Amino acid sequence: MRHVFISLLLVVTALQGTLASAASLTAEFVDAQGKPLPDAVLTLRGATAPPAGPMKADMDQRDVQFAPHVLAVRSGTEISFPNSDQIRHQVYSFSTPKRFELRLYGGTPSAPVLFDKPGVVVLGCNVHDNMIGYVYVTDDGWFGVSNDKGALTLDQVPAGHYAVTLWHPQGADMLPVSGGDIDIPAGGLKQRFTIAVQPNADNTPAAPTPSAFGDAFHKAAHE
Amino acid sequence: MKVRISFQARIAGVLIMLLLIVVFAVFIAVRAATQDAVRKQAQAQLEVGTRVFEGLLEMRGKRLRDAVQLLSTDFGFRDAVASADSATIRSVLLNHGARINANDMFLLGMDGTVMASTVAQIPEGSPFPYTQALRELKGKNQSMLIVPLQGQPHLLVESTVLAPLPIARVVMGFSMDGDLAQELRSLSGLQVSFLSIVQKQPGQMISTQPAPLFDSLRGVMMNPPSDEMQMTEHQNQSFLSKTLRLGSNSDSEVVALLQSPLDQAMQAFAPLDKTLFWITVVALACSLVGALLLARNLSRPVSALAQAARRIGEGDYATPVVLDRRDELGLLASAINSMQSGIAERELQLAHNALHDPLTGLPNRALVMERLGSAVIAQRPVALLYLGIDNFRAISTNVGLEGVEQLLRIISEQLQEPLRPGDTVARLSDNEFLLLVHNAETDSAVAVADRLQRLLVKPQRIGEQDIAMDACIGIAAYPANGDSASELLRRASIARQDAAQLPGRLQVYVDGRDVAHLRQISLIRDLRQAARNGELSLHYQPKLDIRNGRVTQAEALLRWQHPQFGSVSPAEFIVLAERTGSIQILTNWVIEEALRQLAEWAYRGLVLQVSVNISADDLLDGNLADRVAALLKLYRVPAEQLIFEITESAIMREPEQSLKVLNRLREFGISLSVDDFGTGYSSLAHLKRLPVQELKIDQSFVRDLDETSEDAVIVRSTIEMSHNLGLKVVAEGVEYEHSLRLLERWHCDTAQGYLISRPLDAIAFEAWIARSQLPPRMTVY
């Protein structure tokens, strides 16, 4: 998570350098029930060109989990998959925007993976089925992922009119939804977004439960 | 024999029947127990088997699901599925399905659309028919679905293809074929059948049962009962069956039939039936033999006992029943033996009693008659001595019953003294004995009788008294006096009766005496009717008053004109009447007739004194005086016209009683006369105490009276003494003139006899009186 901030900071400092009239967007994500929604992705597409910057990011693996769980990158970003665990992982994705496979490895692989097409890339580990991570690849200039409290702050966003796109791993069919258009004034904007999410059902496959076929069967036979 | 056999048969029958009942009951019980056991065992087997079956099926489902899950995580498979190339996907499905021996493979989209299929019925692009059921599996926490597919039940397992998020679901089907059924059968021990039913149409039958049963099985499976377990029969084979619905849809279902064969289990008990049968056969044979032995053991002694009883019944008391047993039958045998000896003893006693006199132990009439009879049959000469104790009654009143018994015993001993061995002394009645002397003629019998009389006449000391017996003996001898036992006895008895009349008290039977005896019997019989039949009449003998030569008295004498024997002497029938007790009837008749005659004569002016004979029995009759008084009154005859003549011996029999009667008669005015004076033992001293007025000297003294004879002294002194006592004297039996002269000289008062007149009937008497009275003394002198 620290890395995310660091990379965000890098992006933000880069933007501050180029734009004088930079404003900030403070977004707050909740689900339909009004609970704070972490891991929500927000992208803004405006008239101004997005700031250029280094197109690199890290998707760490620690405690047999992808960290961060959701990573938003701009198209063309090279993502490195360092392995912080003592065990090896085999990271792969069959997602259409980027199919790749990193053979079983430990430490940091030699080459980063280029994510050049926008879309959702679901990451998995071939040897650890419950390791799931998401890389949200977007062409939009500004984007961010909500923190644990469901809050997201985008600094150095030029004041102006933007089309908002929202995405969440548990969103319907895992498709991005439109968050509407917003006008960000120079003094910044504080906006609340609601994303309908499905219960965390299919996303994390659990270990196979012991079958109770016989029990149920027996019960049925006796009824 | 018949009884014995049936007895044996009955015992055997009962035993065998009991055994059969027991065996049958045991058989039923065993049968019920085994059937129950088999049923329970089958139930248990079915229950256990069902659980095993379910467990196996579940295990199989889990294994398949795990296999499918493993397959679905295969990287290459996921890679291929992710490629979304249906041909590739199908080839991969076939390839990977083959790895786990799946029969059908489907790849479904997350929305349930078939993405790839190996089953033509479910083409790609169509919605998978079991999507909903599969989705529900998760809710039920089940791992597999059983569905009919292509007419066969199939196991469907599903797994999600993760990439890494679920992108598709792979469904694999495994047909539940015969191999599975066999496997389940081998593990559960039950017959396993599967049947898929689609729209009420049965699919292919999969079963471990033989094919011929399929139709029947199908019937059960098509209409599964609600019961958990049921008995089913398929071609005469019994099963305990349980139907399970493995999977059911609205219009399709898969049914499993689990069956525990009962017949097979029952067959396990078949040897038991066989054993039971042989046990029964052996037991029956043993019990038959045992029953026969027992029955024989029982019936043989029983028949021996029966034979013994029959022997005893026939009178054989000598042969004892021999039964060497210690049980009840042995007891019975010894009881029978003791009974036998008891009976023998008592029978001897009875026989002895029947043939002997209980008091003296002498043979009785029956025995002596038998011995006499046998002597007669053997034509052995034998003499009968019929002995009677005449004064027995007097003795018995003197010495009492005990004395009599003692006396009889003495007599019985004495009677045997003169006899030889083989002779018999028998007691016939109280005072009569019969002696049987063999090989004796009349003469030697008389000698024996004489000896007996001499023995018996010796006085015997009984208590305080000396008793002399007056024994009279009648003798009859065979063959001289008869040729049958009864005749001999009768004639001996007649001789004895005759002897009683004789001073020697001994009489040998005289030929013809039995005819006289018969006459006596007839007389005794007819005497009772004589008065009624008018056979009796009174004759009157005049009594002459010697002093004045007039006849004013007569003695009434009874005459009997018997229709058969003619005139019967009073000497004959009066004795009989006295002996039989009918004398009173005669006396009454005589008195009444005499009174009637007196009354008749008085009517014609003839007044006489008539004397009537009164017997000893009459004096014992207390009513005599009253009766006479009544008659006197009836015929209006003065008592003075009546004289009663009584013999001395009659008065002396019962002096007290007689005196009473005589006194009363005298009170009426009847004169009393002592008849036959001089024949008895009494003396004149006696006479003075009696209320008599007259004395009649017995004719034996008077008949041949002459001056020089002893009789003259007696008569004369009697007359004088009588006169001194104030008594008149009548002389009876005056037949000669000189006798009358003597009497007259001795001052005898009255004379009676043929000299004066024989007894005359009433008419003749009346005529005689008339003649004699006209010239009073002419006829007499």
pLDDT digits (tens, 9 = 90+) for B195-229: 888 888 888 888 888 888 888 888 888 877 665 78
Pick from A107, A139, A171: which residue ends a domain?
Answer: A139
- What percentage of chain B has pLDDT greater than the value 90? 13
> Which of the two residues, B232 and B742, has the higher pLDDT score?
B742
The confidence band for A215, taking pLDDT boundaries of 50, 70 and 90, is low
Residue A10 lies in a domain: no
- pLDDT of B732 > 80? The answer is yes
Residue A83 lies in a domain: yes
If asked whether residues A131 and A154 sit together in one domain, one would say no
Q: Which residues of B touch A211 (CB under 8 A)?
A: 58, 61-62, 65, 141-144
Top mean-pLDDT range of A138-147, B18-27, B266-275: A138-147
> Which of the two residues, B51 and A14, has the higher pLDDT score?
B51
Contact A202 B140 (CB under 8 A): no
Q: Which residues of A touch B167 (CB under 8 A)?
A: 94
If asked whether residues B494 and B426 sit together in one domain, one would say yes
pTM of the model: 0.47
Contact A214 B57 (CB under 8 A): yes
Q: Averaged over B468-474, what is the pLDDT?
A: 86
- pLDDT of B779 > 70? The answer is no
If asked whether residues B209 and B60 sit together in one domain, one would say yes
- pLDDT of A79 > 70? The answer is yes
Q: Which of B210-224, B680-694, B746-760 has the lowest mean pLDDT?
A: B680-694
If asked whether residues B184 and B151 sit together in one domain, one would say yes
If asked whether residues B463 and B538 sit together in one domain, one would say no
- Domain CATH number, residue B723: 3.20.20.450
Q: Which of A204-218, B221-235, B292-306, B623-637 has the lowest mean pLDDT?
A: A204-218
Give the nearest partner residue to A211 out of B75, B142, B166, using CB atoms. B142
Range of the domain at A32: 20-49+142-201
**Element of type H or E holding B246:** strand B237-248
Residues B129/B144, Cβ–Cβ less than 8 Å = no
If asked whether residues B595 and B475 sit together in one domain, one would say no
Q: Averaged over B343-357, what is the pLDDT?
A: 86
C-alpha triplet B58, B61, B66: angle, nearest 5°: 125
Nearest to A134 by CA among B164, B76, B369, B327: B164
If asked whether residues B599 and B654 sit together in one domain, one would say yes
If asked whether residues A159 and A180 sit together in one domain, one would say yes
Spatial distance between the Cα atoms of B62 and B77, rounded to a whole number of angstroms: 21
Contact A212 B65 (CB under 8 A): no
Spatial distance between the Cα atoms of A52 and A42, rounded to a whole number of angstroms: 19
- What percentage of chain B has pLDDT greater than the value 70? 97
Q: Which residues of B touch A131 (CB under 8 A)?
A: 164
Pick from B511, B538, B556: which residue ends a domain?
Answer: B511
Contact A92 B75 (CB under 8 A): yes
Pick among A213, A215, A222 to test the B interface (most B CBs inside 10 A): A213
- Domain CATH number, residue B212: 3.30.450.20
Pick from B304, B324, B353: which residue ends a domain?
Answer: B353
Contact A213 B167 (CB under 8 A): no
Q: Which residues contact A207 (CB under 8 A, 6 or more apart)?
A: none
If asked whether residues A62 and A85 sit together in one domain, one would say yes
Closest-CA residue of A relative to B244 is A221
Nearest to A166 by CA among A8, A18, A28: A28
- Residue B610 is predicted with a pLDDT of 94
- pLDDT of A19 > 50? The answer is no
Q: Which residues of A touch B244 (CB under 8 A)?
A: 217, 221
Residue B252 lies in a domain: yes
If asked whether residues B506 and B621 sit together in one domain, one would say no
- Residue A218 is predicted with a pLDDT of 52
Q: Which residues of B touch A96 (CB under 8 A)?
A: none
- pLDDT of A214 > 80? The answer is no
Q: Based on the structure, what is the number of domains in chain A? A: 2
- Residue A165 is predicted with a pLDDT of 92
> Which of the two residues, B629 and B135, has the higher pLDDT score?
B629
Range of the domain at B329: 315-353
Give the nearest partner residue to B61 out of A174, A211, A222, using CB atoms. A211
> Which of the two residues, A54 and B624, has the higher pLDDT score?
B624
Q: How far is A120 from chain B (nearest CA, A)?
A: 12
Contact B164 A125 (CB under 8 A): yes
Q: Which residues pair with B105 in a beta bridge?
A: B172
- What percentage of chain A has pLDDT greater than the value 70? 79
Q: Which residues of B touch A209 (CB under 8 A)?
A: 141
Pick from A92, A111, A139: which residue ends a domain?
Answer: A139
If asked whether residues A134 and A58 sit together in one domain, one would say yes
Q: What is the mean pLDDT of chain A?
A: 80
Phi and psi angles of residue A157, each rounded to the nearest 5 degrees, phi first? -95, 120
Residue A36 lies in a domain: yes
- Domain CATH number, residue A102: 2.60.40.420
Residue B362 lies in a domain: yes
For B507, the token pair is 């009489």
Spatial distance between the Cα atoms of B531 and B165, rounded to a whole number of angstroms: 169
Q: Is the dihedral of CA B318, B319, B322, B327 positive or negative?
A: negative
Residue A159 lies in a domain: yes
If asked whether residues B577 and B713 sit together in one domain, one would say yes
Q: Averaged over B671-675, what is the pLDDT?
A: 90
- Residue B597 is predicted with a pLDDT of 93
Residues B88/B179, Cβ–Cβ less than 8 Å = no
Contact A211 B62 (CB under 8 A): yes
Residues A222/B245, Cβ–Cβ less than 8 Å = no
Residue A132 sits at the chain B interface (C-beta within 8 Å): yes
Residue B306 lies in a domain: no
Contact B78 A203 (CB under 8 A): no
Task: Tell me the three state secondary structure of residue B426.
Answer: strand
B208: how many CB neighbours lie within 10 A of its CB? Answer: 17
Pick among B162, B242, B257 to test the A interface (most A CBs inside 10 A): B162
The confidence band for B144, taking pLDDT boundaries of 50, 70 and 90, is confident
Residue A3 lies in a domain: no
Contact A221 B245 (CB under 8 A): yes
If asked whether residues B70 and B152 sit together in one domain, one would say yes
Residue B19 lies in a domain: no
Pick from A117, A139, A161: which residue ends a domain?
Answer: A139
Phi and psi angles of residue B778, each rounded to the nearest 5 degrees, phi first? -65, -50
The confidence band for B777, taking pLDDT boundaries of 50, 70 and 90, is very low
- pLDDT of B672 > 70? The answer is yes
Contact A212 B163 (CB under 8 A): no
If asked whether residues A158 and A195 sit together in one domain, one would say yes
Q: Based on the structure, what is the number of domains in chain B? A: 4
Residue B190 lies in a domain: yes
Would you call B435 exposed, middle or buried from its count of C-beta atoms within 10 A (0-12, 13-18, 19+)? Answer: buried
pLDDT digits (tens, 9 = 90+) for B689-724: 888 899 899 888 888 888 888 888 889 888 998 898
- pLDDT of A14 > 60? The answer is no
Residue A12 lies in a domain: no
- pLDDT of B681 > 70? The answer is no
If asked whether residues A173 and A189 sit together in one domain, one would say yes
**Element of type H or E holding A92:** strand A91-93
Q: What is the mean pLDDT of chain B?
A: 84
If asked whether residues A95 and A75 sit together in one domain, one would say yes
Pick from B262, B296, B326: which residue ends a domain?
Answer: B262
- Residue B683 is predicted with a pLDDT of 65
If asked whether residues B436 and B365 sit together in one domain, one would say yes
Q: How far is A213 from chain B (nearest CA, A)?
A: 4
Q: Averaged over B340-356, what is the pLDDT?
A: 86
Residues B647/B676, Cβ–Cβ less than 8 Å = yes
Could you write out the DSSP letters of every residue in B165-178?
SEEEEEEEEEE--H
E strand intervals along B249-316: 252-261
Q: How far is A189 from chain B (nearest CA, A)?
A: 35
Residue A217 lies in a domain: no
State the virtual CA torsion across B117, B123, B129, B130 in degrees, nearest 10.
Answer: 0
Contact A217 B54 (CB under 8 A): yes
Q: What is the ipTM of this complex?
A: 0.70
- Domain CATH number, residue A171: 2.60.40.10
If asked whether residues B504 and B559 sit together in one domain, one would say no
Pick among A66, A91, A94, A175 to test the B interface (most B CBs inside 10 A): A94
If asked whether residues B348 and B396 sit together in one domain, one would say no
Q: How far is A62 from chain B (nearest CA, A)?
A: 18
Nearest to B194 by CA among B100, B44, B68, B53: B53
- Residue B781 is predicted with a pLDDT of 35
Give the nearest partner residue to A217 out of B58, B62, B69, using CB atoms. B58
Residues B472/B387, Cβ–Cβ less than 8 Å = yes
pLDDT digits (tens, 9 = 90+) for B589-632: 999 999 999 999 999 888 999 999 998 888 888 788 888 999 99
Residue A216 lies in a domain: no
If asked whether residues A63 and A117 sit together in one domain, one would say yes
- Specify the pairing of strand A60-62 against strand B432-438: unpaired
Q: What are the residues of chain B with a beta carbon less than 8 Å away from any beta carbon of chain A?
A: 50-51, 54-55, 57-58, 61-62, 65-66, 69, 73, 75, 78-79, 82, 140-144, 160, 162-167, 228, 244-246
